[in-house]
Amino acid sequence: MILDAIVTFAIAIFLLVGAAFTLVGSYGLMKLPDAMTRLHAPTKVGTMGVGALLLASMTHAFVTQNGSFHELLVMGFLFVTAPISANFMSKVNIHLNNCDTTPDAPDDQQWCTLVQETHTDGAPADKSDTVQS
Amino acid sequence: MLAATFALNVSIWIAFAAISVSQLLAMWRLFVGPHTGDRILALDTMVVNAIGTIVVVGLYQGTPLYFEVTLIIAMLGFVSTVAYARFVLRGDIIE
């Protein structure tokens, strides 16, 4: 009985934490000044926010019916795909010039995501004027 | 136990309200822009918020049925984000 009450309070706290992180992430998406900093805030929604909500759901399932770890699949999927989609969106920002220009790469190297036709002084022919993305 | 159930109900409604407000904030960013990358990011955030909403709905109704829905929406959200970004980057999705 006491244990049930403690677990129910734990579910409530997980829910509040998830809701707070969701709200903070979306507020940051609205508030932050430029495109690359705006990329930072919604990661809180994906990891902490939905993570805590799924933790609450999993705890609730363990209390009321046969519990399962199914929700960990969603959590793991979100954790794995969040950096990939963030990488793609930052590439979009770089290519559309919505952010500061990237610094020069060291030595003779080049950033692999950028257009390479700006180098006319003996750039390798097989890599010139292609957009590696 | 009564206090705990009351706290759970109150926090479920607080979570609904917070997720709704954050969905509206993400929608504001989707309308305002100003860049394409911001709009893609806003759509991605809206998908994640929708996943959170469905998780809380499942908690509210006490059924485990909504788990598959969240998993499928998570996959579709990732694929659509990558497809938007690929379309902006390459002008084509499947080459």
- For residue B69, the distance in angstroms to the closest alpha carbon of chain A comes to 10
Position A103 pLDDT exceeds 80: no
Calculate mean pLDDT across residues A17-30: 92
Do A39 and A94 meet the contact criterion of CB atoms below 8 Å apart? no
Closest by CA to B47, choosing from A30, A78, A129, A60, is A78
Taking CA–CA distances from A11, the nearest residue in chain B reads B8
ipTM computed for the complex: 0.87
10-residue stretch averages of pLDDT, chain B, 95 residues long: 84 93 92 87 92 91 86 92 88 72
The answer to whether the Cβ–Cβ distance between A53 and B15 falls below 8 Å is yes
Neighbours of A22 (CB within 10 A): 34
At residue B52, the pLDDT reads 92
Kindly state whether A40 is in contact with chain B, defined as any CB-CB distance less than 8 angstroms: no
On chain A, the residues whose CB falls within 8 A of the CB of B5 are 8
Interval A31-36 mean pLDDT: 86
Answer yes or no: is pLDDT of A126 > 50: no
- DSSP letters for A25-87: HHHHHHH-SSHHHHTTTHHHIIIIIHHHHHHHHHHHHHHHS---STHHHHHHHHHHHHHHHHH
> How far away is chain B from the Cα of A39, in angstroms, using its nearest Cα?
7
Residue from the list A1, A9, A22 with its beta carbon closest to the beta carbon of B19: A22
Q: What is the mean pLDDT of residues A107-120?
A: 64
Residue A116 has pLDDT above 60, yes or no: no
A109 or B13, which is more confident? B13
Percent of all residues in chain A with a pLDDT value above 90, rounded to a whole number: 17
